[in-house]
Structure formats: structure tokens, C-alpha cells
Chains A and B, each alone.
Chain A
């Protein structure tokens, strides 16, 4: 508990979230099964999982940071580096590819002025290549904040980006 106190100021999890996870972990025979839940919760609050997030997860579950890192770094949807407010997962798998996915990706890059893996200067967008998002019928598509946007055209991309910018301003 001491070390949890220390990690608190970072504000990765709400106090009640920490308490809940600790409570839940105590009830479980195998607390490890909560790793992804906790990492996802941290990411939801903080946008990505900093080292302190790994350490916090480790403390809650009675693991070492390494043991959490072994898991965290396996998954591509856990970010261990800062990302923008809206990470854009652009599908580059086969169905989107048949429907012009490469063009859409290029259009995003051009409009945002960044490459894959980069974040716009205003901290709004990060472009990430992703495998199939399960929207094969509505290709080409991207996923942002768990929403799937399909059948994208340059027009739709423009509108999407504008809407997202607006959402933040609102």
C-alpha cells in the first residue's frame, strides 16, 4: 500500500478504481488475470501507459514491474509511449487494401502532415497502422476511441478529422 500512495500523484487511476482493483485482486485466486483490465483503465484515463502505470499495476497485483511489462509490451493496443488525444488505427489488412486502404492511409498522412507512428504537433492525432479491425464489410476503415469509421473517402476523412477537432474544443 505504501508504494501505491507514492504513485498516486500521477493520477493514472482514480482512488476508487485503485481500491476496486485491489479489492478484486484479493478476491481472485489468480490476480494476474486483471493485468489487461488495469492497463486498459490506466490508458483510458491517461491516454497511454507510462512507466509509473506499469509500476502501479505491479503494486496492485503483487507482481514486479518486469512481470507486467512482459505482458504490456506484447499487445499493440497498449501504448507504452505517448500518443495524441486520438490515436487513429488505420487498417492495413487485406479487405481494406482491396478497397483503397493505402490511399486512405496516405490521405491521413498528408492531411495531418505526419507519418505512421507520429503525433501531430497539437497533440491531437497519432497515426498507427493496425491489423484487421473487423470492419471488412465496410472497408476501408479506421478505429478511433473504439468507434469504427468505414467506407472512407477523402471527403469523409476531412469531415471526421473536423468533427474530432470540434469534439475536443466543445
Chain B
């Protein structure tokens, strides 16, 4: 550990740290552009110059490039360094327009800050500035190339880090251009990151254009609610509108970047049809009244019909606090334990993760650092996009990624892919076939192997087999960890709170004994399989109560509807796929955004003490009111920890933290699942989430609409040929859930004997994670 002196201050840093990093630790900000923590140092901008007074190589040096040495003496504020940095500032500004007042980056411009920090203030160059024509990069990113200072961060992010191949750098000398071959939408699922890394106003968030100045935005550290990884985000809002999301930093999870679903999927908060007022059937009512009715009626029904009469349904997208409070309310009411997820099989799989695998879970950081990752039954870009970027880092540092999945999986890096049907995949996990042996051998020899498993495809049975595999592949030197993918931001949390064995939701509803169903931020019609059965079961209810912030079909049917707050409007905690407690802070107060209220025009001119649409309360607040509990969040957490010691990490957790792992659980008795026999002539049905619009939040986000896909069914070219079908044919897909008429597409990389569909707005009734099931595909009979 070298000790060096920077500006007369001594510091000891780990071997390999650069002088720039050492200075940063001392609180000395050396101006820089091309260096970025995640992208590393390339020495291009030359802004970070310092003077090495004592050391193996003396003189003006780029602090991002030189490693700290023992006994080194460095100055950052000497005449040579400051003059040089001033010149770099001047050079970078030669061509830069002086349009800060109208620039979209105004107020959060690193160039502005660094120019001032470097001391450059007066323009001396009076030659011609070079100018560019801009490109249309699609709906997400706006380009204004004249402001470019050639730090190359965008390409390094887009291409090198995230693996995009349609945006790069062209030209040379003082005419380099950062863009696409031709106008067109950026193809990468991580395109928005170039907005965050661009230090000036070249690449900006198009969806946020002309909305706010940075300093007028309310921001807070938050957790992305669009998948189970729990990436750090910083939502920014104003005028009750969530105007943008940028990525936060969490070294243990996403690092510095997020995916486009997380960034541009924020429209649900401002959805024009978002229900913002409580309602008893058709009648709008106040919140107090709604809660009073809920309380009175729930009690009444229990009194009258016993504890079965009221069923409380929690959710995998509501906060840990709300689910726990729901359990408390059930106790108080005297009804049966709530069901915390509408989707039974997914919930059970999440429980395997939360209990049986909890002592062997890897973090995303560990995935990035692995030398061999086996991805079994997971399509990262669809289920957990930032995992795809993490896998790219594995390959970039010389590691290997092997994917066993029936789908034609794509990744932004090189990888080996074996297309196995879901059943064959289960076999493979128990070392079936020569492949199984071979892959095991590779894993055995790896330094830090990791098994990624998609809970949707593997199910309870597959995850248990994955665990066995991980046990067999671990040794005294190193473990073989598991990185499971779950379906929702708080799937783990809901599973952790749940009783291991529960009747499933439908069975209970179908008994007819349930008179009132209370759905807390959950719509089984969209989020669970067998929506038809559920619809029928609903008719047996006397009363359907829905608490939600989305305009779901269920909320429309509700007898009593109570509006809740979105995660960005409340404080709370999610537990991500690897059991990490991640808390988030509210950014906005709920209310009708002006852009929605007046159709983008002038705000209302009437005087009022309350802003329209400000009724919604957070789910946990609502439950606290029902419980007549006014504990603070801290007190609430204490009670939760007392109830569930595994949640000890909640104490003292703040939204700026990287998050704390829940404590390990004792493994449970393993039950073997009987897999349904495959009827002759059928195909295995695979329902995969679409990359965009499968999770409900992105489905209700208008910004993502350009990315929504249409419905289709995919088959292996050979299976199609055997049935006399061709790409583009209209076919009938017969499933247990129902029949669908869909166009067919062929793909040589889809596992044989399978049919693949994507769950999205265009095909909402087939929901992923329902377990092994079979289907048939046949030509549509024409009725000519």
C-alpha cells in the first residue's frame, strides 16, 4: 500500500490506485473528462494533469494514468499544472458554442464546471468554429453535435461497455463525429446511458427535453422497479410529473449504468388515466371515507362469515413495508394470513430463492468479476437487462459465458448458446447428457464460477436442481454461487415474508367462502396465469377492493378503489433478486401533472389549497391508518426486524446505501415436483417476458411505446416445416389458457420441440413463469 503526498497531504491507498483516485479520496478534485470510474482511464482529454515532484517519472503527468507510488510527491495546484489545465479548457472550448442559456445540459454540465475549475474564462481564439449536422437518433436521445468536446465517453459506454454496435465515432482530427451510420433509432437496450456519461449538452434525454432545468428538478436516490435486480436510479420530477430517470451508482449492483426500460419506463407515474381518487363503484369519495368503508366492511364480513370471508392479496411490486403491514392488518382483523403474490408458481420459485438458496447468492458485482458464468433458463435482456451488461464485462476481461436456454437468446457479447427445451434443460442441470458433464468440468476448473438461473423458466424444480449443482461444484477454495432472476422488484421480499405453505389464491377464491378480496397493488388478471379462471372466481365475491396506482383492468372492476402512490412518491424498501435490501426515497408528492391536467397548456387559474389529484397515499401509509399505527419508518423497521430477524439490515438503511443482504435462512424440506407428462404431438410452451411492456410499469409507460413488440409465436424452422408452416403464416396456438391466432416466425436457434411467445400488451393473457405446459400449433383454418 503506497503512501504518497498530494498538495502536502499524505494518503495511503491500495496498490494500483491512480493519483487521480488518491487525490479524490483526499477531497482534491482534479478536473477530468475522459476518465470515468466505470470506463477507466484512456488519457485522451489531458485535463487531469498534475505535476509529479518526486517519483519514478517526474514532471507534468496525467493523474488518471499514473499509479500512486510510495514516497511520491504530487502537486495539483502548481503553476505548471494549473496553466496546462487552463489551456486544455481553452482548447476544448475552441469550437464550443456559447449557448449555455438555451442548452439542455444547463446546470448539470460537466464542461461548464470543468471550464470554470480549469480557470479558463476568456475566449482568445477568434477563428472559425467547426459545425456539424445532427442526426435523428430515435425517440430517446437527442443529439447536438456542435457541443461535442470529444471525450469519447459515449462510444466507450455504448460500444465498449454496453456492447452496442450501431453508434460510434467517425471521421478524424478536429472533425470527429459521434453518431450512427445513418439516422435511426439507437438499437442498444442501454442507449440512454450515453446521456448520463456525456459531460456536455450533445447527448440529452429527448423525452425530458424542454421540461425542466436541472436545479428545478426534485431528485432522490431510488431503486428501479422494472425488474428484480434493483438497480440504483435517480428519478427527477417537477410539477407532480416524473420527468426523467437517470442512473444512480451502486457498485454492488448496477455499477453506473441502467437499461432503457428502467430509464424510459417512467411514464406510468404520469399516466393520463392513472386513478387518483377513491371510488365506491361509480361514486368518487374522499380518502378518509374510503378507508372507513374498507375497515367497517372488512370487519363486518369477518364477524358475519368468519376469518375466510376476507382475503388480503399483497404483491411483488409493493414495498416490503406494505406487505408486512398487510400481514399485521390481517392479524388485527382476524382473517387468514394474506397471500403476498397473485402468481402462485412464481411466488413459490421466489421462496426457493429466498430460503433455500439464500446462503449462496452472488451479487451482480460478483457476476461481473466471474471468469465463467453458466446462464441456465434465462434471457437476460428480457428478464434482467443489466445482467446482460454484466455478462459482457465477464467476456471483456477474458471470461466465458455459456447459455443454456430454449430461446434464441441475444447478448451484447460473445457467448456459447445451447438451445435446450425446458424439460431437457432440467435434465442438463442434473448432469444429463454429455453436455452436462462437459460444462460441469469447465465450471469445476473456473476460479469464480457463477450459475445464473431464471426462476420463470426453471421453476421450483429447476432452482432446486441448480442448488444441488452449485453445492457439487463448490469446494474448499471457492464457492460456486448462484445468481437467480426473479420477476418483480420485490419478489424476494414478498417470498421472505410469506408462510412457506399456502393455499393458492384461486383455490381459495373458488371455494366461494371469500366475500371480500383486497388487492394491494396487484392485478391477477394481468400478473398471474389463468386470468379466465380468475375472472370467473371474481364473480363469487361480494366486494372487490383494489388499491393501486395503475389504471389496471382490475381497478376498473373494483367496488371500492383506493389510489396509492408510486414508488417515486413514497419511501420504502424492496429486496432484490440476490436478497439485498434496497430502500428508496420519495421524490414527488402525488398530484395531477400540469402537463396532463391542462393538456400541456397553462396551469389552472382557480385558487385552491389542495392541488388536484393529490389524494393518493402510499400503501404502507394506508395500512398504518387502518392499523391506527403512527410509527415512523424507523420504528416500523424495528418492529419488522423483531418479527423477521432476517431483515436485521433494515436498521439504519438509507436510500443512498448500496444495500444490505438479508440474513441467510435455514433450508426447508425440499419437495419434489411432479412434472406433467408431455402429450404426444405437442410442443413445450415457453412464455417469455417481452423486453419492453411485459412488466406492468413499462406497459403503462408511453415513452416506451416505440419499443413495444407485436404478438407472434416462434418455432424452430424444422418444427415449422414438419407442420407445413412457413414464416409469416397465421397459426392457431392452443394452450391450456386458451387459443390464440398469431403470426408465426421461424428461428433456427429456438430449441426443437418448443413454441415461444412473448408476454406483452399485445399478448397479455399468457404470463411467464407458469411452469411446464404444452401446446399445439396448427394452421389457421380459413373460412372461405
Contact = CB atoms under 8 A, between A and B. Distances in A.
Interface of A: 51, 54, 63-67, 69-70, 73-74
B172 A66 contact: no
Contacts of B170: 69-70, 73-74
B181 interface: yes
A17 B165 CA distance: 26
A63 B180 CA distance: 14
Given A66-B168, A66-B181, 10 more contacts: A51-B182, A64-B166, A66-B165, A69-B168, A69-B170, A70-B169, A70-B170, A73-B170, A73-B172, A74-B170
A74 B169 CA distance: 9
Nearest to A73: B170
B676 interface: no
B167 interface: yes
Nearest to A55: B181
A66 B171 contact: no
Nearest to A70: B168
Residue among A63, A66, A73, A74 with the most chain B CB within 10 A? Answer: A66
B172 A74 contact: yes
A144 B168 CA distance: 32
Interface of B: 165-172, 177, 180-182
Contacts of B165: 63-64, 66-67
A67 B187 CA distance: 14
Nearest to B155: A70
B171 A64 contact: no
Shortest Cβ-Cβ A-B pairs, 6 listed:
A65-B181, A73-B170, A66-B181, A64-B165, A70-B168, A74-B172
19 contacts: A51-B182, A54-B181, A63-B165, A64-B165, A66-B165, A66-B166, A66-B167, A66-B181, A67-B165, A69-B168, A69-B170, A69-B181, A70-B168, A70-B170, A73-B171, A73-B177, A74-B170, A74-B171, A74-B172
Residue among B168, B177, B181 with the most chain A CB within 10 A? Answer: B181
A73 B181 CA distance: 11
A70 B169 CA distance: 6
A69 B179 CA distance: 11
B232 to A, nearest CB: 30
A67 B182 contact: no
Contacts of B180: 66
Contacts of A65: 181-182
Contacts of B172: 73-74
Contacts of B181: 51, 54, 64-66, 69
B209 to A, nearest CB: 25
A73 B175 CA distance: 10
A54 B181 CA distance: 9
Contacts of A73: 170-172, 177
Contacts of A69: 168, 170, 181
A97 B672 CA distance: 86
Nearest to B177: A73
A16 B180 CA distance: 31
Nearest to B165: A64
A77 to B, nearest CB: 13
B133 to A, nearest CB: 14
B270 to A, nearest CB: 34
B152 to A, nearest CB: 12
Nearest to A69: B181
Nearest to A66: B181
A74 B177 CA distance: 11
B44 to A, nearest CB: 16
B172 to A, nearest CB: 5
Nearest to A63: B165
A63 B169 CA distance: 15
Contacts of A64: 165-166, 181
B168 A67 contact: yes
Nearest to A54: B181
A52 to B, nearest CB: 12
Contacts of B177: 73
Nearest to A72: B170
A54 B180 CA distance: 13
Contacts of B166: 64, 66
A76 B170 CA distance: 12
